[in-house]
Amino acid sequence: PLIKYIDHSGGEYEADVDVGKTVMDGAMDNMIDGILAECGGCCSCATCHVYVDEKFIPVTGTADGMEKEMLTAVNEPKDNSRLSCQIFVTEEMDGMTVRIPESQY
């Protein structure tokens, strides 16, 4: 599935991310800047924050549990905030856009 990443200055990057990988993996594997992922994907650093295209929220689901708690600590949380290491890519996410915040702190 193709995922589009848009950074805070409007730069757009497309990555073909394998099903089962995370949206964070897709950014790392394709050297897309702005997602730091300091903890490597174990939901404990909150430096992989993204804003999910509202249209795709029914597909990605919403944050709960640990992720929801971590999201209270990010810079500029919004209703569509997610930790990208907790979004596991499925075929239905083809064409999804995620926006990368200006800062992960």
Segment lying near ligand FES (by CB under 6 A), choices 2-10, 46-54, 74-82, 90-98: 46-54
Q: Give the list of residues 6+ apart from residue 15 with CB closer than 8 angstroms, or none.
A: 2, 3, 4, 5, 26, 27, 29, 30, 32
Q: Is 23 in the site for ligand FES (CB under 6 A)?
A: no
Which of 6, 17, 23, 24 contacts ligand FES by CB under 6 A? 24
Is 83 near ligand FES (CB under 6 A)? Answer: yes
Work out how close the CB of 9 gets to ligand FES at its nearest, in angstroms, rounded to a whole number: 22
Contact 75, 101 (CB under 8 A): yes
